[in-house]
């Protein structure tokens, strides 16, 4: 009998696994071909393509040549090409960040082109074409999100971000040493990549966690899977996106607290907007093209940021969210009440706080997390006097390095906690 059950199980799993393995892809192109193209698309991203097939496509392909390859008949690609041919896109060899409205807009335009492709040839050709023409950072952002979400790339593994952009994860000094070693054809060199800061800073005791390559990558994945700008017209509904946003950060914070306790550090304090920000940060990393990541000194006062927003706007948004939690309902744009005093409430609250397109009322509850990220990452040059690029908070893979990012998320987590505390405790079952 047991054997029969096992056989049946094997047959079952076999039946479901085989199609994935053999003719797995909806468009018939084998997954290994896609993986090959993806690997080469990101290989030495700041240099020209090294794969002959892709390099050929980059030269000969015309994105507008045959618009029947797009599900939308070419609407998205026409939009992008219009911006491109009129020279309105950000140039290559320039820093780009997702907290810059225009940079994000351009990256999403390219993302939409990928998502409209009916088959792999369309994705690979557009990928090759635009890789050689749009800003590299924007290309990475768009292509990573598309690969994560397109039905054509469900079996493609994304290259590790620390291999695509090692300069975001490694001290400038180490990168320099690596170039030198390459220049001099030295082999088997071991580089020491220390954490930023010194033991004179007590926060340094948990730098190993904040600056961990895995934590940075994990943080990137949280956002890749749940982009705040996601719309269901891209293909499907992301289940419990808002709740995931809460849950993922809650887990990260709990672990951070545990690491702090183990290192005799006080518990994490939430970010106070009207008190000096105690923790400074020296990233010691450099943009590939552009100046180093800016240094933030200790004890700065948080400033309003020109053309981005005022610190007080964050407080207004929070007040409205606190009100909603106290009432037990949120109001959508038509003024209808949506009850949040239930299992589903945390999901709605998460959408609102994440600044998600899923938010039932973006006009009223605003874009708390994106605004807070953007205000914080500009604190080193809030009046844009010195043309400095944004800090590590502007990049998903480097955000956890900054102690201030954790304090901000603690503040956000406390809002969720206020909601959770209104719910009845779990019963025995």
Ligand X SMILES: *[C@@H]1O[C@H](CO)[C@@H](O)[C@H](O)[C@H]1NC(C)=O
Among 39, 173, 263, 282, binds ligand X (CB under 6 A): 173
Give the separation between CA 175 and CA 41, rounded to whole angstroms: 22
Nearer to ligand X, 30 or 197 (CB): 197
Among 100, 374, 380, 398, binds ligand X (CB under 6 A): 374
φ/ψ (deg, to 5) at 117: -65, 135
Nearer to ligand X, 300 or 308 (CB): 308
Q: Which stretch binds ligand X (CB under 6 A): 125-133, 204-212, 292-300, 369-377?
A: 369-377
- Determine if 170 is a binding residue for ligand X (CB under 6 A): no
Residue 232 C-beta: closest distance to ligand X, Å: 19
Give the separation between CA 196 and CA 207, rounded to whole angstroms: 7
Q: Which stretch binds ligand X (CB under 6 A): 143-151, 155-163, 326-334, 364-372?
A: 364-372
Q: Which stretch binds ligand X (CB under 6 A): 77-85, 256-264, 370-378, 393-401?
A: 370-378
Residue ranges in 14-73 that form contacts with ligand X under rule CB under 6 A: none
Give the separation between CA 209 and CA 190, rounded to whole angstroms: 22
The alpha carbon of 246 is separated from its chain's Cα centroid by a whole number of angstroms, namely 15
Does residue 65 sit in helix, strand or coil?
A: coil
Among 224, 371, 399, 404, binds ligand X (CB under 6 A): 371
The alpha carbon of 195 is separated from its chain's Cα centroid by a whole number of angstroms, namely 22
Nearer to ligand X, 57 or 171 (CB): 171
Residues making up the chain, counted from first to last: 429
- Radius of gyration in angstroms for the set of CA atoms belonging to the chain, rounded to a whole number: 23
Half-sphere exposure of 107 (CA within 13 A, CB side): 25
| Per-residue mark of binding to ligand X, 193-222 (x: CB under 6 A) | -x----------------------------
Half-sphere exposure of 200 (CA within 13 A, CB side): 3
- Determine if 282 is a binding residue for ligand X (CB under 6 A): no
Q: Specify burial of residue 292 (Cβ count, 10 A radius: 0-12, 13-18, 19+).
A: middle
The alpha carbon of 414 is separated from its chain's Cα centroid by a whole number of angstroms, namely 22
- Determine if 370 is a binding residue for ligand X (CB under 6 A): yes
- Determine if 192 is a binding residue for ligand X (CB under 6 A): yes
Nearer to ligand X, 119 or 177 (CB): 177
Q: Which stretch binds ligand X (CB under 6 A): 243-251, 367-375, 393-401, 419-427?
A: 367-375
Residue 192 C-beta: closest distance to ligand X, Å: 4
Does residue 331 sit in helix, strand or coil?
A: strand
Q: How many residues bind ligand X (CB under 6 A)?
A: 10
Residue ranges in 110-169 that form contacts with ligand X under rule CB under 6 A: none
Q: Which structure tokens are listed for 37? A: 């193209």
By C-alpha distance, which of 111, 114, 120 is closest to 26?
A: 120
Question: Which residues bind to ligand X, rule: CB under 6 A?
Answer: 101, 173-174, 192, 194, 308, 367, 370-371, 374
């Amino acid at each position: 009998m047991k054997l029969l059950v096992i056989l049946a199980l094997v047959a079952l799993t076999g039946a479901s696994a085989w199609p994935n393995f053999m003719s797995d892809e909806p468009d018939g192109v084998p997954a290994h071909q896609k993986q090959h193209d993806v690997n080469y698309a990101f290989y030495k991203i700041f240099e020209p393509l090294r794969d002959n097939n892709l390099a050929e496509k980059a030269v000969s392909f015309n994105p507008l040549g045959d618009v029947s390859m797009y599900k939308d008949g070419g609407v998205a690609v026409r939009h992008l090409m219009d911006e491109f041919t009129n020279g309105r896109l950000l140039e290559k060899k320039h820093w780009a960040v997702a907290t810059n409205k225009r940079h994000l807009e351009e990256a999403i335009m390219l993302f939409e082109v990928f998502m409209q492709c009916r088959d792999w040839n369309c994705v690979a050709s557009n990928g090759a074409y635009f890789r050689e023409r749009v800003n590299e950072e924007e290309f990475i952002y768009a292509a990573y999100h598309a690969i994560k979400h397109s039905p054509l790339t469900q079996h493609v593994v994304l290259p590790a971000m620390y291999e695509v952009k090692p300069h975001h994860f490694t001290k400038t000094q180490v990168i320099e040493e690596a170039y030198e070693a390459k220049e001099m054809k030295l082999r088997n060199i071991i580089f020491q990549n220390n954490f930023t800061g010194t033991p004179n800073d007590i926060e340094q005791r948990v730098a190993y966690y904040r600056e961990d390559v895995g934590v940075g990558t994990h943080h990137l994945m949280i956002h890749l899977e749940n982009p705040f700008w996601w719309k269901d017209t891209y293909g499907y509904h992301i289940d419990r996106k808002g709740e995931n946003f809460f849950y993922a950060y809650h887990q990260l914070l709990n672990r951070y607290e545990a690491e702090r306790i183990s290192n005799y550090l006080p518990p994490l304090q939430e970010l106070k907007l009207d008190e000096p920000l105690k923790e400074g940060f020296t990233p010691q990393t450099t943009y590939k093209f552009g100046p180093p990541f800016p240094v933030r000194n200790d004890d700065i006062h948080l400033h309003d940021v020109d053309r981005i927003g005022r610190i007080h706007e964050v407080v207004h948004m929070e007040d409205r969210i606190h009100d909603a939690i106290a009432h037990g309902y949120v109001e959508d744009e038509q003024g209808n009440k949506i009850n949040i005093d239930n299992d589903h409430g945390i999901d709605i609250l998460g959408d609102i706080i994440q600044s998600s397109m899923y938010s039932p009322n973006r006009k009223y509850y605003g874009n708390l997390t994106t605004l807070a990220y953007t205000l914080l990452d500009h604190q080193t040059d809030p009046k844009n006097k010195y043309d400095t690029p944004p800090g590590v908070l502007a990049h998903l893979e480097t955000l956890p390095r900054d102690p201030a990012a954790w304090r901000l998320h603690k503040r956000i987590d406390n809002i969720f906690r206020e909601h959770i505390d209104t719910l009845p405790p779990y019963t025995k079952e």
